[in-house]
Structure 1
Amino acid sequence: MKNLSSVLDLMGNASTAAIKLGNITGVISRLPQQNQTNMDFGFHSSGDLMILNKNSDVGTCIKQAIHFPKEASELAVKRNGSFAGVLLFPEIEKLNKTSFFFNNEMLGIEMGANISNLSETINIHFSNVNTTEFNATCISWDGKSKEGSKEKWITDGCLTNEANGSITCHCSHLTFFAILMSSNENGKISSSDLKSLTQITKAGCGMSMFFLGVALFMHFLIR
């Protein structure tokens, strides 16, 4: 990701170019030195990339849409950044037995400068996310630390907004991003277990009320 700036030398006078490295796809766009604006890119379900506008429909054919706010571009240029780049990494392995990345994919976002603590977030929209049996959470890669021998993924700096079968990650920094799908089977109780627990609870409450009545009767009898 740090070497994306070298692609600019191959673009000539073009302002935007598609990137393909094996099964990794992406897009890179030059940043103007003045009059920065919002930028929006989308990954089509077919794998193609496109520049989105206000009339683009992100609910049907776009599986990921990335919104760069004007603030991010201004901050990047101020810190000698010259581009906005997004790469889509497929076939990412599961984190563990119960957690995996949505579509087994992660997104890398780079602007050639350290970008963090944005007041207007970078928004990453994921379409058609089925959360029926999973908990979905936006996460980002923490390049400063690891968990054992694996990279550490954190929720800091990203908010998860789920609506109408889609999820939008609102993130205030740049790094690698993904949606973590965690199985919630461990938190479910079967109907038979629920019935047994209900009967035990009723019996316990009944015994408590009985001995409370005995205690009150003895109290008034002694008085």
Structure 2
Amino acid sequence: MWITLSLVTVVCFSTSQAGGFCENVLSECVESGASWTRCYEDRIATCRPRGRSMPGFKHLTVDSLQEANVSPTFQHRVHIPSSALQRSRGNVSEVLVVASVINSTYFKLSPPRRSRLGQFRRREGVVFRGSVLSVRAGNVILRDLPQPIKLIFSHDKEVENGTCVFWQESGTEDGTGYWSIEGCETTKTAEEFICSCNHLSFFAVLVNPQLSVSKSHAEELSYITYIGSALSIVFTFISLIIYICLHRRRPEKATRLHMQLTGAMLCLHLSFLLCCFWVWLLNENEDSSVCLVLGLFLHWSLLATFSWTALEGFHLYLLLSRVFNIDFRRYLLKLSLVGWGFPTLVAAICGISGVYGKYTLRLRDSKIPNTTAHICWMSSEFPQKHLLVSYITTVAFPSLVVLFNACIMGLVVFKLYGIRTGTGSIGNRVDWKKIKNDKGWNLWKDSVKVLGLSFVLGLPWGFSSTTYISLPGIYVFTIFNSLQGVFIFLWSVALTRRSHSDNNSSYNCHKKTTASLNSS
């Protein structure tokens, strides 16, 4: 459990007036009952440190005309401007600065307020490393300081975002409170969180709670991913051959699109395994240009997969909106420029910027601390300006693709339902009585079509949202997406059976409609 830092700045007229030892202040204030934070702020000003030094505790006197810099630990620092010290000095020229370390579990959260103002100021999250900085100057409560006090929390790049907050008591007898952002601004650098606050209180940095994965679960998920990706490589290669044969037998735009998507997915799973095993062959502290190239290849393959997934949805939308009459000049060439050109452009820009390299993932293991895993991807050491590029290309863009294709999938379900009930508007005049009596037109086949289309449209990527809330969600996401090549293979086999069935039967409007939906 990480320790919590509490920094208190007070004015002391004479150290001879101090009473009690500082080591006992926290426990005595907590045992006293409600509002232990006020008790702690008052008594820490008059306590006496026992011995030469205490872990995480600083006790020194500074000149009020100068700035004060206190570092109770190597990971926490506070900068107090002279204007704040002068306001709190009273009738003396020196100010006593006290810095101490407290466990964050002593701060008990109160239930959320119903008022909008309280909800706006209140912040939820996990206290970063359990570190809480408390700053007080003398016996005067300081607010609206002209120069803010800066509290610095060092980090080792294990978190991306954080928010500076201070502890606000709820005013109840149980001594509970909440974390508020009022009067504080947050600045994050490559190595530090800098909190600039215009008042004095207990301060902390809240980070978003992240689901931690133990080493045992990480190994199980790795095996699932490796096996699933290996199977996907085999089956996507077979699917690519099937689509080539189908295209030679009957050239269709949809078949060409399936070929492009399958090729991109083959590159994705192949590059992923190469990135994993190449880092495994390297020394833990070694990096190479090969890893940079593999990271670029993996990123390019991911972007290409999502680009062609979006184009699959776009093509299906045109089929439904134009009643299966897509006649654009050089239609497939234009789609190819987007499907392959966009990933190439983005990967080239990122490569020139030096984004790619070895990525380090920290795992939770009670027996072996600081357990890590590595992969050739975007380097953990790349500058902060590249975080925006990483977020746009690996989070925002895939999310938009999944959202767009989910809407297209809803439109397909609506059209299929309209055909089944006789209320659809696809095609010209249709003998609905004959359609309903068709043995092949039933709910089971509709469900299979929707399920197959959902994998073609990349909807299983939507399970990524479950990875932030539950461990089973991580397993579901890993299984479905590592086996995407297998599902694409099953879809190609279904298209082969449909193509063979179409060659042995006559066409009518209904068969043309359902066949187009199947192939798309």
For the structure 1 residues 94 and 136, does the alpha-carbon distance in structure 2 shift closer, same or farther, using more than 3 Å as the test? Answer: farther
Structure 1 residues 69-116: Cα deviation after superposition (integer angstroms, max 9, x where no partner):
0011100013879423222223537978x7211111212222222111
Q: What residue is the counterpart of 1:92 in the other structure?
A: 105
**Residue 166, structure 1, aligned to residue 195, structure 2:** no
Residue in 1 that maps onto 2:58: 27
Q: Distance in 2 between matches of 1:42 and 1:18?
A: 16
* Greater CA drift, 160-169 or 72-81: 72-81
CA RMSD of aligned residues (A): 3.9
Match of 1:70 in 2: 82
How many equivalent residue pairs?
A: 172
Deviation (angstroms), 1:171:
0.9
SS of residue paired to 1:177: strand
AA at the equivalent of 1:40: N
Normalised to the residue count of structure 1, the TM-score between the two structures is 0.61
What is aligned with 2:404?
198
The equivalent position to 1:114 in structure 2, one of 131, 135, 141, is 141
After TM superposition, the score normalised by the length of structure 2 is: 0.29
CA-CA distance at 1:65 after TM superposition:
1.0
The answer to which structure has the higher helix fraction is 2
* Richer in strand (by share): 1
Answer yes or no: is 1:151 the counterpart of 2:177. yes
CA distance in structure 1 between the partners assigned to 2:91 and 2:199 by the alignment = 14
Report the Cα distance in structure 2 between the residues aligned to 1:129 and 1:117, rounded to whole angstroms: 32
The aligned amino acid for 1:139 is V
Q: Is the 8 A contact 1:92 1:106 kept in 2?
A: no
8 Å contact kept, 1:107–1:178 = yes
Unaligned ranges ≥5, structure 2: 1-40, 110-123, 212-393, 412-520
Contact kept in structure 2, 1:93 and 1:100, CA below 8 Å: no
Write the letter of the residue equivalent to 2:137: M
Structure of higher RCO (CA pairs closer than 8 Å, 6+ residues apart): 1
CA shift, 1:165, in A, is 3.2
1:41 maps to 70
Structure 2: which amino acid aligns with 1:101?
V
Aligned twin of 2:501: none
Are positions 1:136 and 2:136 aligned together? no
Find the residue that maps to 2:155 and give its secondary structure. coil
Q: Which runs of 5+ in 1 are unaligned?
A: 12-16, 45-61, 206-223
Change (3 A) 1:71 1:86: same
Larger Rg: 2
In structure 2, how many angstroms separate the alpha carbons of the residues matched to 1:19 and 1:90?
Answer: 19
Per-residue CA distance 1:147-179 (angstroms, 9 max, x = gap) = x97312100011100111311000111110110
1:195, distance to aligned residue in structure 2 (A): 4.3
Assess if the C-alpha contact under 8 Å between 1:31 and 1:77 holds in 2. Answer: no
In 2: Cα distance, 1:27 partner to 1:18 partner:
10
